[in-house]
Amino acid sequence: MFQLDGNPIAFSKGDSILQAAHKAGYYIPHLCFHPDFKAHGSCRLCVVDVKGKTVSACTQPAEDKLEVYSDTAELRQSRLRLIQLLFAEGNHYCPSCEVSGNCQLQALAYDLGMTHYHYDPFSPLRQQDGSHSQLFIDQDRCIQCDLCGRASQEQDLKSVYLLAGRGQDTHLAFRSHNGQLGSTNASMDDRAAHICPVGCILPKAGNYPDIAGERLYDKIPIHTQGNHRRDEGGQDEP
Amino acid sequence: MVNPINDWLTAKSDFPSWSTDLAEQTLLRHYHNPFLPERVLQNLVILQQLFGHISLPMQEWLSRKSGVHIADLRALISFYLFLEEAKPCRYHLRFADNIIEQHAGVNELIEQVKEKLCGCDCKIETTSCIGLSDHPVSLLVNGFPVTRLTADNVNDFCQLIRRGAPLQDWPRSWFAVNNLIRHKGPLTAYPYQAGQGIAQAKSLSREQIIDLIGDAGLRGMGGAGFPTAFKWHWCEQQNEPIKYIACNADEGEPGTFKDRYYLSQQTDQMIEGMIIAALAVGAVRGFIYLRGEYLYLYQPIEKGLQRWREQGYLNADFDIELHLGAGAYICGEESAMIESLAGKRGIPTPKPPFPGEKGLFDKPTVVNNVETFVAATYILQQGSKAFKSVGTEKSPGSRLHSVSGDCQQPGLYELPQGTPVRELLALCDAKDTLCVQAGGPSGALYLPHQFDTPLDFENPGRGGSVMVFNRSRSLMDITRNFIQFFRHESCGFCTPCRAGTVAMCNLLERYEHQPTLKEQNKSDMIELAQLMQQTSHCGLGKTAGLPILNFLNLVEHHE
C-alpha cells in the first residue's frame, strides 16, 4: 500500500505509481501513458511529488508506505504550463480539428483551466503525410508521445511508427523505404491506428461523426472519463 | 578491433566515391563482426568519415547488411549532427560558437571567411563547444580541429581552401593542440608505472579494491560527484555473469577540455583505471565513448589500447572497445550514452533502473568519467592516503580545471578540491573579472562577492570547467549563448525540455526587446526555469533554465 493524496492504494510488485493508481480508479493526468503498453515518460503530465522529489508517476516504481502527492496546487500549475507548452510547440486548430471534443490534449487543457497559450506559438513547419489509403498523418498535432510506436511494436507486431530527429525537430516517422506511411503495411485494423491521444493519426473517412455537445469530453471531464479514444470503446480505463 | 591503422581516420578533403568493397573492407578491418545491429551507429560514423556523407545507396547497403530498417538509419542520421545525407563539400567548416569563441570574435571571423570563400566548394557552419576553448578561435575542418584562427592567419587559411589544397597538405602547426598543464598536481605529475595499479588490484579481493577506492573518497569527476566506490560496489553485487565498464569521454559541457588532456597525454592511466574497475566488479568488456569532436584522438587511443593488448592486459577476459560519438551533447548523460553505445538515438532512459543494475544491453554497467578512471589508477598505485592528503574532507583529492576566457593564462590547472575561485583567478591571471561560470552552462555563475567559494563537490559547478568573463562582457550575450546551446542540444524526448528550451529563448528575446514588459517576462522566465527543473526527464532539461536564474540574479544584484 502507498498513499496517493492521502488515499491508500494497493499495488502489485513491478507496478508504477500511475499503473497502481489507474487500477485503483484514481486519475493522475497523463498523455503518453497507456495501461496496455510500456511506459514512456515523455509528456511529464503525470508528475507527482514523492519524498520531496518530483517524478513521473508512470516510470516511478510504487513502493510500500510511499507518500505520493498528485493533486496539489503547484503540480496543477506545472501541468497547465506543460499543456500550454505542447499547444505552443505544435499547430493546434481545435475548432476545425476532427478530434475536437474527443481529444485528450484538449480535454486536459479544459480540465486544467487553460484559457490561453501563455507561450508564443512556435508555428513550426511540419511535413504532412496523406500517402496511406485510409489514414492521414497530421504532424502539426503530434505531441511525440510514441503511443503509436509502442502499440505498433508491442501489439500489432509491425513496428510501423518511430520517432526521428532531435530537439524541436523530433517528429513521427514511418518504417518504409521512402519514409511514407502509405508504403508501410499499416492498416486501419491496427491498434496503432486508434491509439493517438490527439489528432495526428486520423482515419480519412468517417470524421466528425458526433455533433458538438455529444462528443466524448463535452459533458464529462477527462479526470472522470479517463483517457479514451472514441473508437476504442473505452473499456480499458475506469 | 584489429588494425590500429584506420584510413577513415585521416584528415582529407577528397572523398572516394561509394564502393561496397571499400566500405566492407573498412568495417571488417575494424570489427570481426561489423554488421551486428548494435554496431550500426559506429558503422554510420565510419561511413560518414570515409565517404564524407551517408547517401541513400549507402543506407540501403548498410540496412541490408545489418538488418536494421533504413528508417531507423535515417532516425539516427537525423539525431546525430555529424551524420549527413547530403553530398559533401570539399571542406566542411564547423566553427565552435561557445561564448568563449564568441568573445574571441568568431562571428566576425565567420563573416570574413564567408566573404573570402564565396563560390568555393565549402560549407560553413557553427557547432557547440569542441573542447578547445583555450585555443580560440577553433574550428573543425572535415572533422579535424584547426586551432587559433585569427585575423592574422585567416587570409592564409582561406587561400588554402580557394586553392583546393588537400587537407593532409595543410601546415601541421595549424592542427596543433597545446595540452600544457599550467599548474600540476598529484594526478598529472606522479611517477606513474604502467601496470602497477593492476598488479596491486590483483593482489586484493574485489571488496578490498572497492574499499580502497571508498577509503580514498573518490567521487565522480564528470560533475555529479557520486561516490565511485558506491557505484562499483552496487555493480559488483549484481548477480549477473556479464557486466560492463563504460568510460565517459564525451565531455561536451561548453568550456570543458580537461578530459582532452587525459585522453591525449595520460591514455594509459585511463585504460589502467578501466581494467582496475573491471577487476573490482568482474566486468567482461569495456567501452570508451569518445565525443565526435575528438576524432583526432581516436587513433592515439586505439594505439594505446593496442599496447595494452600486446602486453596481455587486455585479452579475451576483458577487452576495451572504442566508440565515437557524432555531435550530440546529450550523449554525455550516462543513460543516453548507454543508448548510443547500443547503436540507438541518445535518449536518456528513466531511472530507476540505474546503470549499475541495468545498463548497457541491460547488463550491470559501471559508467565513470575519464578523470575518475585516471584517479582510480592513482589510488591503486599511490594509495588512498596519498589521494586524500589534499582536498577537503567531503571532496578529497585534486582535479583538473579547464580555464578559458578573459585571463592571461587560459589552460589546464590541477588544483586540490576546495580551492577557492579567487585563487584560481589569481593563478590564471584574470583581471577585472565580472563573473565566473563554473561547470559550464549547466553549472554555477559566481560573482565577485562569491569568489571565496571553494571549487569542490559541495558547491554547484563541479564539471571541471571555469570560464572567466571580465567587465567588458555583456551578461545578456553570455546567457543567450547558454540557453541557445540547450535549445540546440535538447534531445527532444520530454515536453519541458524540448518545448521549454525553445520557449525560454523566445522569452529572453522578449525580455531584451520589450522594456515595458520586463517584469512580466522576468517572472515568466523564472517560472519556466523552475518548471524545467522540476519536471524534466533528465539532467539536461533540469539545468537548462539555470543560466536564466543566474542572469536574473545578477541583474538584481546590480540594480
- Per 3-state DSSP, chain B is made up of helix, strand and coil in percentages (nearest 5) of 50, 15, 35
pLDDT mean over B344-355: 94
How many beta-carbon pairs under 8 angstroms link A with B?
A: 120
Q: How many CB atoms lie within 10 A of CB A29?
A: 27
**3-state DSSP call for residue B411?**
strand
CA–CA separation, B88 vs B243, rounded Å? 40
CA distance linking residue B216 with residue A101, whole number of Å: 62
Which residue from B minimizes the CA distance to A78?
Answer: B531
**Residue B492 is nearest to which of A78, A166, A176, comparing CB atoms?**
A166
Contacts of B499 in chain A (CB under 8 A): 85-86, 88-89, 119, 122, 168
- In terms of Cβ atoms closer than 10 Å to its own Cβ (0-12, 13-18, 19+), residue B29 is middle
Q: Least CB-CB distance to A89: which of B493, B502, B507?
A: B502
- In sequence order, what are the residues at sequence separation of 6 or more whose Cβ sits closer than 8 angstroms to the Cβ of residue B509? none
State whether B490 and A47 contact (CB < 8 Å).
no
Distance of CA A158 to the CA centre of its chain: 21
CATH 3.10.20.600 residue window(s) in chain B = 394-472
Length reported for chain B: 559
* Whether B487 and A168 lie within 8 Å, measured CB to CB: yes
Going from the C-alpha of B367 to that of each of B244, B245, B247, the distances in angstroms are: 9, 6, 6
Architecture of domain A79-230: 2-Layer Sandwich (3.30)
Residues 6+ apart with CB under 8 A from B520: none
Residue of B nearest to A174 (CA): B71
Distance CA B31, CA B43 (A): 10
Residue B558, pLDDT score:
67
The predicted-structure confidence for B389-425, as pLDDT tens digits, reads as follows: 999 999 999 999 999 999 999 999 999 999 999 999 9
Which residue of chain A has the CA closest to B72?
A: A175
> Is domain B394-472 classified as CATH 1.10.10.10?
no
Paired residues of B466 in beta bridges: B403, B438
d(CA A7, CA A26): 9
Q: Which residues pair with A201 in a beta bridge?
A: A137
With the CA atoms of B358, B362, B364 and B365 taken in that order, what torsion angle do they form, in degrees rounded to the nearest 10? -100
State which CATH number among 1.20.1440.230, 3.30.70.2860, 3.90.180.10, 3.30.420.40 fits the domain covering B474-559. 1.20.1440.230
**Which chain B residues are closer than 8 Å to A54 by Cβ?**
534-535
Evaluate if residue B540 carries a pLDDT over 50.
yes
Q: How many CB atoms lie within 10 A of CB B176?
A: 13
Which chain A residues contact residue B345 at CB under 8 A?
A: 163-164, 166
Task: Tell me whether residues B536 and A162 touch, CB distance under 8 A.
Answer: no
Query: B298 with B324: CB under 8 angstroms?
Result: yes
For the stretch B184-207, what's the b/e string if a residue is b when 16 or more beta carbons lie within 10 angstroms of its beta carbon? Answer: ebbbbeeebebeebbebbeebeee
User: Taking the CB of residue A65, how many other CB atoms lie within 10 A of it?
Assistant: 7
The answer to whether B179 and B264 are in contact (CB under 8 A) is yes
At residue B38, the 3 state secondary structure works out as: helix
B5: Cβ–Cβ under 8 A, 6 or more apart, which residues?
none
Please tell me if residue B371 touches chain A, with a CB cutoff of 8 Å. no
- Mean pLDDT for B39-51 is 96
Q: Which numeric CATH code is attached to B91-175? A: 3.40.30.10
Of A26-30, A31-35, B199-203, B516-520, the range with the lowest mean pLDDT is: B516-520
Residue pointed to by grid coordinates 504532424: A139
C-alpha to C-alpha distance for B503 and B525, rounded to whole angstroms: 9
Q: What is the ipTM of this complex?
A: 0.96
Q: Which of B254, B284, B420, B435 is nearest to B364 (CA)?
A: B284
pLDDT for position B559: 57
DSSP-derived 3-state class of residue B421: helix
Q: What angle do CA B288, B276, B465 make, to 5 degrees?
A: 50
Task: Residue A179: list chain B partners with CB under 8 A.
Answer: 71, 74
- Residue B542 and residue B474: Cα distance in Å, rounded? 25
What is the predicted pLDDT for the residue at B399? 96
* Identity of residue A196: C
pLDDT tens for each residue of B104-153? 999 999 999 999 999 999 999 999 999 999 999 999 999 999 998 999 99
Which chain A residue is nearest to residue B496, measuring alpha carbons? A82
Residues of B in contact with A41 (CB under 8 A): 350, 494, 537
Judge whether residue B320 has pLDDT over 70. yes
CA separation for the pair A54, A66 (Å, rounded)? 13
DSSP letters spanning A61-95: BP-TT-EEE-S-HHHHHHHHHHHHHHHHHS---GG
Tell me which residue in A86, A165, A173 faces B495 most closely, judged by beta carbons. A86
- Give the pLDDT band (50/70/90) at residue B6: low
Every domain of chain B with CATH number 3.40.30.10 lies at: 91-175
Tell me which residue in B78, B80, B535 faces A44 most closely, judged by beta carbons: B535
Kindly report the average pLDDT of chain B as a whole number. Answer: 95
**Helical H segments across chain A, by residue range:** 17-23, 73-89, 104-111, 147-154, 216-219, 222-225
The span from the CA of B528 to the CA of B373, in Å, is: 37
Q: Are B269 and B372 in contact (CB under 8 A)?
A: no
- State the smallest CA–CA distance between residue A206 and chain B in angstroms: 30
What DSSP character marks residue B391? B
Instruction: Determine whether A41 is exposed, middle or buried from the number of CB atoms within 10 Å of its CB (0-12, 13-18, 19+).
Output: buried
What secondary structure, in 3-state letters, does B85-128 show? CCCCCCEEEEEECCHHHHHCCHHHHHHHHHHHCCCCCEEEEEEC
Say how many C-beta atoms besides its own lie within 10 A of residue A223's C-beta.
16
Within chain A, which residues score under 70 in pLDDT? 232-238
* DSSP helix/strand/coil, B463: coil
pLDDT (0 to 100) of residue B315: 96
Q: Rounded to an integer, what distance in angstroms lies between the CA atom of residue A107 and that of residue A216?
A: 9
Helix/strand/coil percent split, chain A, to 5: 30, 15, 60
**All 3 cell numbers of residue B332?**
554525455
Domain ranges of chain A: 2-71, 79-230
Q: What is the pLDDT of residues A85-117, one digit of tens each?
A: 999 999 999 999 999 999 999 999 999 999 999
CATH entry, B181-388, from 3.40.630.20, 3.40.1010.10, 3.40.50.11540, 1.10.3720.10: 3.40.50.11540
Considering chain B, tell me which residue range(s) the CATH 1.20.1440.230 domain(s) occupy.
474-559
Output the pLDDT for position B32.
83
Partner residue facing B535 (CB), from A78, A118, A120: A78
Phi and psi for B490 in degrees, rounded to 5?
-60, 135
Residue numbers in B near A86 (CB within 8 A): 495, 499
Residue with cell 572497492: B210
Architecture of domain A2-71: Roll (3.10)
Whether B536 contacts chain A with CB within 8 A: yes
pLDDT tens digits for range B155-193: 999 999 999 999 989 999 999 999 999 999 999 999 999
pLDDT surpassing 90 at residue B300: yes
List Cβ neighbours of B31 (8 Å cut-off, separation of 6 or more). Answer: B1, B39, B42
What is the DSSP annotation of B155-210? HHHHHHHHHT--GGGS-GGGG-----EEE--GGGSS---TTHHHHHHHTS-HHHHH
B139-141 and B181-183 beta bridge pairing:
unpaired
Contact B334, B224 (CB under 8 A): no
Burial class (CB in 10 A: 0-12, 13-18, 19+), B138: buried
Give helix B258-265 / helix B298-310 axis angle, nearest 10°. 40
**Strand ranges across the sheet with B91-96:** B122-127, B91-96, B139-141, B144-146
Residue B529's SS3 state is helix
Q: How far is B183 from chain A (nearest CA, A)?
A: 39
> What residues form DSSP beta bridges with A54?
A49
What is the structure's pLDDT at B9?
Answer: 84
